[in-house]
Amino acid sequence: MTSTIAFPGVLSSPSSSNSPFLTLQSNHNVFLSFRGDDTRNNFTVDLYQAFVRNGINTFKDDKELRKGEEILPALLKAIEESKVSNIIFSENYASSTWCLDELLKILRCKESKQQKVSSRLLQSRAIDSTTPKWKF
């Protein structure tokens, strides 16, 4: 199925490099790379929901992986099939071998497939133990 979405300032259609629209033919528009323990239940879920509300088909590992599926091959395939990878760099992102494997694949796809990459750098400053605050 082919759909057209607005993704201003990031992508353009094959027919016009000045157009803010993209014609999609892959499974996902956006792949979210994040450290689950750091951001899964706060920033990442908010970003994911914003994408979904705006009709952007987004891969988030806890929503897309099927039971019994091998995790790493499925993640790498999702990265390869996405149009954009959005990396959420958090405090412990680089301490995860999973995140580093994803990052390597994202960078390879950027080079070989001209995949678009967007990133966010988050630093947590907790006011109390139940209310994390994020600054960019």
- What is the C-alpha to C-alpha distance for residues 52 and 36, in angstroms, rounded to an integer? 19
User: Nearest 10 degrees: CA dihedral of 35, 37, 41, 44?
Assistant: -10
List of residues 6+ apart from 100 with CB closer than 8 A: 94
Give catalytic residues, as residue numbers.
102
Q: Between the CA of residue 76 and those of 31, 33, 118, what are the distances in Å?
A: 10, 11, 17
